[in-house]
Amino acid sequence: MIHSIKPLPIKIGLVFGGASGEHQVSIRSAQTLVRALREGTNSERYDVKCFYIDLQGYCWPSIVAESILKEDLFNQAIEFTNTSKQKGFRGMPEEADLIDIWCLALHGPNGEDGTIQGLFTLMQKPFTGSGVLGSAVSMDKQAMKACFTAVGLPQVPYICLDILELERIPNKLVNRIEKSLGYPCFVKPANLGSSLGISKCNSRQELISGLKLASAYDSRLVVERAVIAREIECAVVGKSVLRASVLGEICFENEWYDYTTKYTKGSSYMVIPAHLSEETTRRARELSLEACRAVGAYGIARVDFFYVESTNNLWVNEINTLPGFTEQSMYPMLWMSSGLTLNELVHQLIKLAQE
């Protein structure tokens, strides 16, 4: 009698945290991902080791990472970082040598911007999400918008600037923004997500304050004309072949979708699928795939839109190459509504990393 040999589980390295303003969001995403990797059939497919990168950039082994993930221990993570004498990245822990595939639960600079993707590329280890180019271009809103413009994707009017201009000719710069965009407008750091460092400005004084706030996060800034629009999102998965999910809409009562609204339960809600015409839905899904191709993104991505129903204008807002996986995150919910469970979605992302 011949017995089939059960294949050994693939060793997955789940890396989270990071020297980023989105550190807390990353921890919450990792909590969801590790559950999905250890549940059901995935528990037989994968052997998961977790790795925590603290706010100073130091990478800690699984025993530390697991303690951070057991509960919502962001305060413990902060305390842990502050008491640690380790500063900066010093390489991966020894147990990282055993990892077959890396699963990224990092958000923002140093994790979503091509930095760690370059590290794993040098290590010749596959990882989830986009490569160095797609990650770096998508993270920087100036570069991303330039790529969108190059292929003719519709966007709201915007101006790119850097901190040197702001320091050298502040009044002239403010005058140019007022003339080109008017009020209200949004000021954004080019390299940050989760609505951090963003201001909605309705006057010259608010614009000056918004520029100052954004420049504290990044030396590259983007200013966009504010539009009264519905916020629509589409999830994308795939590599050689990209697939778009059903669409979702973010609804909220606050003036705009800021960090507090985004991550406070009850402050916003999602409508999935979004109540849109068949034509608008088709157009948004097509634009989502075009946006990914424009920046070289693959594996996992979420593309966000502004939609003005009265004029039927659909603008591409941004692309996120490592969208959140928290309990309130749109990305996994869009795929669930498209017929893909969380556990199966995570399995698909791991398989795509192997392509």
pLDDT in tens, 298-346: 999 999 999 999 999 999 999 999 999 987 799 999 999 999 999 999 9
Distance CA 166, CA 164 (A): 5
The beta-strand segments (E) located in 163-253 are 185-189, 199-201, 220-225, 230-238, 242-252
Order of strands, sheet of 10-17, starting from the edge strand that comes earlier in the sequence: 59-60, 46-53, 10-17, 101-105
Host H or E run for residue 212: helix 204-217
Q: Which amino acid is at 65?
A: A
The 10s digit of each residue's pLDDT in 203-251 is 999 999 999 999 998 999 999 999 999 999 999 999 999 999 999 999 9
Give the model's pLDDT for residue 82.
56
Q: Which amino acid is at 194?
A: S
Strand-pair category, 230-238 with 10-17:
unpaired
Residues in a beta bridge with 302: 235, 320
Top pLDDT among 109 and 281 is at: 281
Distance CA 349, CA 264 (A): 27
DSSP state of 255: S
The beta-strand segments (E) located in 75-210 are 101-105, 158-162, 185-189, 199-201
| Pick from 198, 254, 253: nearest CA to 221 | 198
Identify the CATH class of 10-127: alpha beta
The 10s digit of each residue's pLDDT in 124-175 is 999 999 999 999 999 999 999 999 999 999 999 999 999 988 888 889 999 9
Give the model's pLDDT for residue 258.
54
Give the model's pLDDT for residue 193.
64
Give the model's pLDDT for residue 266.
59
* Poorest-pLDDT segment among 63-77, 98-112, 184-198, 341-355: 63-77
Identify the CATH class of 158-225: alpha beta
Host H or E run for residue 317: strand 313-320
Order of strands, sheet of 158-162, starting from the edge strand that comes earlier in the sequence: 158-162, 220-225, 185-189, 199-201
139-154+228-354 to CATH, choices 3.40.50.2300, 1.10.10.60, 1.10.290.10, 3.30.470.20 = 3.30.470.20
Every domain of the chain and the residues it spans: 10-127, 139-154+228-354, 158-225
Long-range contacts made by residues 265-270, C-beta under 8 angstroms, separation at least 24?
Answer: 265/328, 270/330, 270/333
- What burial letters (b/e) apply to 141-163, b meaning 16+ CB within 10 Å? bbbbbebbeeeebebbebbebee
